[in-house]
Structure 1
Amino acid sequence: MEKREPTDGPNPRIVVIGGGTGLAVMLRGLKRLPVSITAIVTVADDGGSSGRLRTDMGMPPPGDIRNVLVALADTEPMLEKVLQYRFRNGNGLAGHNLGNLFLAAMQDITGDFTHAIQEASRVLAVRGRVLPSTDQEVTLGAEMTDGTCVQGESRIPLAGKQIRRVFLEPEDVRPIPEALVAIQEADVVVIGPGSLYTSILPNLLVQGLAEAIRESQAKTVYICNVMTQPGETDGYTAFDHLEAIHRHIGDRLIDTIILNNETPPAAILRQYAEEGAAMVQPDIERLQAVGCRVWAENLLQYHGVIRHNANRLSKLILELTR
């Protein structure tokens, strides 16, 4: 289907898909701009506080949802610190995140996880909508290149092996209807940034979600990570990230790729190398050869760790809506 030109109106409709810290960082910049945001967030996490609540309360893991809610919230800095607070002591409390417990309480009160997110959004004055990619219980698995399989999102990067593919169990998990409607009505769909195999693909593998993006008239943008992730994308270039997406859900999904082309200082690269990470190389010609439009910019921001510069990235996304 031919992609429509995005609206020239004051509030272009942007759907962002992913999870993890990278998505939350970008949303902090995007919420300051005159756009209408819907965030579709992974619920495949099974580690830490989220994993415990998933097991104890039979609820989807709230951690990625919490991060996105806090990023989009119009709250005082102290309230944000409270929602992100992790208990260090207490029998049963140690390790739990207060924001996760807040969402667990909301689900208990409302009786439904999606409704709980909506009510939490109202309480926190969230600028936009936050939706889980599915409201069904789902487990992420990975098949490695040596033929072994690893079950559980938190265990996959720790396996120390090269990933051939990831998959969901059950495979026929369906997206919530609101997510499909948001994609259908979007001017731009933004995928990432975030962990390729454990934050981005778990959303795209939800049956019907990638198809909805492909059938939508929205322009589709993939934001490539700045650094490789040990245990997931070791040695990956920008093209390798795109190829992994194609391998899982087919091509003709992504129109534009935004990537960083600025090399971090040598001292920072050495610091990351000690942890097994390196800069994702922007192999632009290979991306263009498969029909992708490439926007390569200096998107670096460093405050102890390398992140995308949220303001620069958000302005690039807004430019795509004009």
Structure 2
Amino acid sequence: MHDQPVERNIHVVALGGGGGTTHVLHAVAPFAASRTAVIAVTDTGRSTGLARQIGGMPAPGDLRATIAAFASDQVMAETLNHRFDGAGIPALEGMAFGNLLIAALTRVTGDFAAAVEHTARLAAASVRVLPVSVANATLCAELADSTRVEGEFAVRAVSKPSIARLFLREPAAAYPPALAAIRNADLVALGPGSLWTSVLACVQFAGVTDALADCRGTVAYVCNSTTQPGQTDGYRCIDHVRRIVETLGPGVLDAVLINGSDPDPAMLQQYAEEGLHLLRPDDDEIAAIRAMGVLPLVRELTTRVGPRRVLWNKQDTIRYETGALGAALHEVVMMKGKTNG
């Protein structure tokens, strides 16, 4: 889209889980002067959950993965992501070394944020990686049948009633440097990633909504390519946007990026068999999103569907092509002022 270098005074913040924020920050590299990841810390997955118990700390997994993704030291990147085979110790099977490192640093320093910073320095990470909070918080949800579940793993579990709302078991504040980064950004990108357990989980910490409302730049949501079993079954694009607008309040979300590509039907069938259904908005959805005060930008973000990835305790989904995503995000960041007044 851009044949020549563009202005390099743009500051981009990606808010959410490790995979989505990593993708966004790689995509904006050609035009962003500085890049900051503000990462969810409520995961209770197998490796992360055990590390949380060891360190008495927030979830390190997505922070570790993000640091590794931007490590200038490739050996450190591989070391952070190295998973033990157990070697006769079942509790260690699948444990990522970086999670243990952050746990140890947290115990040594008594400061989770410092532990993350030390890890990023060891890896010579090229982006700033911040936890959304330093509180050892538990994510909870109220389901459509009014039952309540505790812990991120239970919140995202499949074959349960739909999620009605999120909350933290004990209210907790966001990390002040993360809030400052959000306020001072030219672009804050929410997602892509798990709507409830990554994007909306970050917003549960006190101060995040206000910081997004005070953001000097543009706040955009990168809508997922498909639904996600256990979280967004039966959702359309507008349902994703509506949940975010309801959480943030009116006038905070400026734009939403929506995939308009047509992936291979055979590949789509494979995903559908796993409960992942393509999100493609119709004209009525687009009009309804616009009526909510959010600018819908439908762009071809998946130029091709690559080979399936084997992910640790997660499902693969249709990925956005980095160049296409970057071009769309540059289009968003160049919008002057707030689109919805």
Task: Judge same fold: TM > 0.5, yes or no.
Answer: yes
Partner of 1:58: 56
Amino acid at match of 1:36: S
Alignment of 1:1-322 (within 5 A): 9-31=7-29, 33-76=31-74, 78-90=75-87, 91=89, 92-160=91-159, 161-171=161-171, 173-282=172-281, 283-300=285-302, 301-305=304-308, 306-322=318-334
1:258 Cα deviation after fit: 0.7
Report the 3-state secondary structure (helix = DSSP H, G, I; strand = E; otherwise coil) of the residue aligned with 2:257: strand
Greater shift, 221-230 or 301-310, is seen at 301-310
Unpaired segments of 5 or more residues in structure 1? 1-7
Alpha-carbon displacement from aligned partner over 1:185-220 (angstroms, at most 9, x marks no partner):
111111111100000011111111111111222211
Mapped to 1, the partners of 2:145 and 2:305 lie a distance apart of 36
TM (norm. structure 2) is: 0.86
The amino acid across from 1:167 in the alignment is F
Question: Structure 2 vs 1, CA of residues 29 and 102 (structure 1 numbering), >3 Å: closer, same or farther?
Answer: farther
Give aligned pairs, total.
313
How many angstroms apart in 1 are the aligned matches of 2:44 and 2:154? 9
The residue identity in structure 2 corresponding to 1:286 is A
| Equivalent-residue separation in structure 2 for 1:30 and 1:9 (angstroms) | 12
Q: CA deviation at 1:159?
A: 4.6
Identify which range, 294-303 or 217-226, moves more after superposition: 294-303
Instruction: Call closer, same or farther: CA 1:119–1:231 in 2, change over 3 Å.
Output: same
The answer to whether the 8 Å contact 1:205/1:249 transfers is no
Post-superposition offset of 1:32: 5.0
AA aligned to 2:330 is: L
Which structure has more relative contact order (CA 8 Å, sep 6+)? It is 1
Task: Flag the 1:13–1:289 CA change in 2: closer, same or farther, 3 A.
Answer: same
Gaps of 5+ in 2: 1-5, 309-317, 335-341
Q: Give the distance between the partners of 1:120 and 1:157, measured in 2 at CA.
A: 28
Matched residues, percent identical? 36
> Contact (CA 8 Å) 2:64, 2:99: kept in 1 or not?
yes
Counterpart for residue 3 of structure 1: none
User: What is the TM-score when the length of structure 1 is the normalising length?
Assistant: 0.91
Q: CA RMSD in A?
A: 1.8
Instruction: Provide Cα deviations, 1:107-134, integer angstroms capped at 9, x if missing partner.
Output: 2333311111112112212122111111
1:268 and 1:199 map into 2 onto residues whose CA distance is 26
Deviates more, 1:312-321 or 1:197-206: 312-321
